Amino acid sequence: MLKIGVLASGRGSNFQAIIDAIENKNLKASIEILITDNPSAFAIERAKRHNLKYIFINPKEFATKDELFKKIADELKSCGVELVILAGFMRIVRKPLIDAFPNRIMNIHPALLPSFPGLHGQKQALDYGVKISGCTVHFVDEGMDTGPVIIQAAVTVMPDDTEDTLSERILSFEHRIYPEAVRLFSEGRLEIKGMKVMIKDHPSVSSNIVNPPNRN
């Protein structure tokens, strides 16, 4: 069974989606620890509700960002974590954590990468006037949302969309594809070749994209 560690800074809705997938027997994994850099994160409440271990690590206690991420890596390793999940973790992951878990850190971003990386991907998409947006699960490297893409979902941008309405619609697909990406990893079906993530026994690359029906 895959042992997961989760990093979150806020409400942790994708953390909840993974909890639900495990509890519904759709994902053979266990969450060993939640680490947060925010003592007020609602993700802590989610951990409490499901009797999951959690800790708060105060970034202000570390002289450098590398020292902070060395501490995070040490805590994850002490729990036997095999895959690290970023669930709304509002920090760029640094080398000590990446080196400790090479190709074993996942993130989800509310845009179709490589378009619109960084903060407010939904607003960036609206401002640019794109007709299709979505979300991306990717492996984490030292850049901002630059790691190899695992799976994506496409979401139609409606003419009357606001940042909030588009964000909410994208979020519903985040909750579907993040557990799926973790499941594929747990089954040993992800293979990284350069910047491409190959899915073993997958019928076609195009089926990685989930197209929701248009809103009436």
Q: Would you name the residues annotated as active-site residues?
A: 109
Between β-strands 29-36 and 54-56, what pairing exists: parallel, antiparallel or unpaired?
parallel
E strand residue ranges, the chain: 2-8, 29-36, 54-56, 83-86, 105-109, 132-139, 149-156, 190-193, 196-199, 209-210
Place of tokens 């971003």: 109
In a 10 Å sphere around its CB, with 0-12 CB exposed, 13-18 middle and 19+ buried, how is residue 175 labelled? middle
